[in-house]
């Protein structure tokens, strides 16, 4: 199998670039050739995932399948999707794929379990909350999930869309306040379950960021691990 990793991105563009950066930073490399081979499909015209789930707007599945096939046709041996809400369509994508697709919530839950975390909050889009896959993956490890109350969730969505619109600092301030509100509910850690959130918090040097579990970073680590396993299999 090819060791090339395909990135089904563009949801949004900044989040995709942030994801690639996190893969690079977590790769043990002393020269260019030691880094992971990546094929990036960043097409922001994929229909809005949350609008589909909550407002019955156009489904992104056809566009996601098109991007998936482009990556597989380009030689990808594994796929990563740096968008949490898009994982609502993980099962049909996995059925259509001839190569494995890493799951962002699975990677995040496994990372939390390794740290022996037992209770977490979740900051994510309305669509991700409705999809429910974080609750399912966390339950596999016995981790309790607390969701934001309605007003806090409204502010989370406000912050996310500010970041998507390019108002990164303004959105980051809103999301930082949401992070503080979530921590006040007594959870050990807060999953940053939208790829715009860790990017935004890092941009302002958030004092709360160390208590967040960066789902983007967890998925990036899973990519590095997958590639290392492929290299060992080839060497054997």
Residues known to be catalytic: 83, 194
Q: Name the token pair of 111.
A: 């990372």
Quote the CA–CA distance of 4 and 18 in Å, as a whole number.
19
169 burial level (CB within 10 Å; 0-12, 13-18, 19+): exposed
| Residues in the chain, total | 236
CA 28 distance to own-chain centroid: 21
- Decide if 215 contacts 123 (C-beta within 8 A): no
- Which strands form 5-9's sheet, in the order they lie side by side? 38-42, 5-9, 78-80
């Amino acid at each position: 199998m090819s060791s090339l990793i395909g990135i089904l991105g563009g949801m949004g563009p900044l989040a995709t670039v942030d994801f690639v950066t996190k893969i690079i930073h977590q790769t043990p490399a002393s020269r260019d050739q030691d880094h992971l081979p990546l094929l990036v499909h960043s097409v922001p015209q994929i229909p809005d995932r949350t609008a589909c789930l909550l407002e019955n707007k156009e489904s992104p599945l056809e566009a996601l399948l098109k991007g998936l096939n482009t990556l597989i046709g380009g030689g990808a041996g594994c796929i990563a999707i740096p968008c949490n809400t898009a994982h609502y369509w993980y099962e049909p994508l996995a059925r259509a794929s001839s190569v494995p697709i890493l799951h962002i919530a699975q990677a995040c839950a496994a990372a939390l379990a390794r740290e022996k975390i037992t209770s977490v909050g979740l900051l994510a889009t309305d669509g991700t909350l409705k999809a429910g896959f974080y609750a399912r993956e966390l339950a596999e490890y016995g981790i309790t999930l607390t969701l934001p109350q309605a007003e806090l969730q409204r502010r989370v969505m406000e912050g996310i869309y500010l970041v998507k619109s390019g108002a990164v600092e303004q959105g980051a301030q809103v999301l930082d306040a949401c992070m503080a509100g979530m921590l006040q509910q007594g959870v050990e850690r807060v999953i940053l379950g939208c790829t715009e959130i860790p990017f935004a918090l890092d941009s302002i040097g958030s004092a709360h960021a160390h208590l967040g579990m960066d789902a983007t970073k967890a998925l990036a680590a899973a990519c590095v691990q997958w590639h290392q396993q492929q290299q060992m299999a080839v060497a054997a």
